[in-house]
Homo-oligomer: A and B are copies of this chain.
Amino acid sequence: MAEQQDVISLSLDELYSLVRKALMHHGVSDRHADAIARVITQGERDECHSHGIYRLLGCVRSVQSGKVDPRAEPTVRDVAPGVLAVDAHHGFSLLAFEMGLPMLAEKARSQGLAAMAINRCFHFSALWPEVEAIAAQGLVGLAMNPSHSWVAPAGGTRGVFGTNPIAFAWPRAAGHPFVFDFATSAIARGDIELHAREGRPIPPHWAIGPDGRPTTDARAALEGAMQTFGGHKGSALAAMVELLAGALIGDLTSMESQAFDDGAGASPCHGELVIAIDPQRFLGGGYAAGQARAEGLFAAVVEQGARLPSQRRFEARARSMRDGVRISAALYRDVLELFDT
């Protein structure tokens, strides 16, 4: 650890230990603390600051709210040949994902594709660590979840949808998978929170204020509603996420999740849908040709100077694995204060 110009440098191991200890200090079980510290470290490592150590604060706030069971043991249920469900029993989502992943992979390999519902989980993380974990098994991953009803439908004025991220990963024989993970809102909620925290204005297409009109004030945006990306198309995708990762899996929509929170300010409690697809099962003897075809696509993007999604993140990862991470001294102090309560 080193302090310089209001910035603290930490190795990835130091960061992981700090997060893990802070969680256990607040009564989180060691299995949950492991799973959460791993993902928060991955977020900071990849310079996804809104999903890095900043999220630890919200995580602890969720525990303090009394809504989350920080020691809940997830249970896995075999629903159908292509479907499993993991009940998180109102614990955090990440351990539930880890516990369901082996059966999801097994089902995908035997059926060609399979779906995993994670139910009754508190969710605060990005989805790319999960689809990357699926791709690490040679499978295609797709994941989505609702959140709180912060986002207005296209043409509307009030929040109905969550930020409703969709993440996808395609495994590649060499190097990192092709991965994207984006909110169907114009921007991630965490980014508006960071702008509000730092008193910075936001672009007008991110959100509407409590009066239903576009605003550049991050605090007004947090009280109003966010907009979807891409107009009616993003709005349609946001609705799909509510249906597939809410109604289909017997879990809360973003409106219901927000009502469940009842002003406690915890991480949203809802479900998550994860789909895994086995390209070996689809392609059989044509597997290598299918992989080569995908590589041809990626090359055609990169060769014209465009970026693949996650490229910046993988570059940040390489830097952080070499040099560790740097976080603001103010945020670091906030984290240390977690040990005082």
Contact = CB atoms under 8 A, between A and B. Distances in A.
A155 B301 CA distance: 9
Nearest to A307: B155
A82 B114 contact: yes
A236 B290 contact: no
A97 interface: no
A87 to B, nearest CB: 13
A240 to B, nearest CB: 5
A86 to B, nearest CB: 13
Contacts of A284: 79
- Chain A contact residues, majority secondary structure: mixed
Given A243-B294, A306-B154, A111 B253 contact: no
A236 B160 contact: no
A178 B243 contact: yes
Contacts of A248: 140, 277, 279, 282-283, 290
Given A182-B236, A307-B155, A309-B236, A281 B83 contact: yes
Given A168-B236, A282-B248, A297 B243 contact: yes
Interface string A226-248: 00011111111001101110111
Interface string A65-82: 000000000000001111
Contacts of A117: 282
Contact of A286 (B113, B239, B250): B250
Contact of A304 (B153, B182, B234, B275): B153
Contacts of A249: 282-283
A180 B300 CA distance: 29
Contacts of A275: 113
A239 B301 contact: yes
Contacts of A79: 112, 281-282, 284
A160 to B, nearest CB: 5
Given A243-B297, A293-B256, A282 B83 contact: yes
Given A113-B115, A250-B283, 14 more contacts: A80-B281, A82-B111, A83-B112, A113-B114, A152-B304, A155-B305, A157-B305, A158-B300, A160-B304, A170-B247, A178-B243, A233-B234, A247-B293, A248-B282
Q: Which 6 A-B pairs have the closest CB atoms?
A: A230-B230, A156-B306, A83-B112, A80-B112, A82-B111, A180-B236
Interface of A: 79-83, 110-115, 117, 140, 152-158, 160, 168, 170, 178, 180, 182, 229-236, 239-240, 242-244, 246-250, 253, 255-256, 275, 277, 279, 281-284, 286, 289-291, 293-294, 296-297, 300-301, 304-309
6 contacts: A155-B305, A155-B307, A160-B304, A230-B234, A239-B308, A250-B289
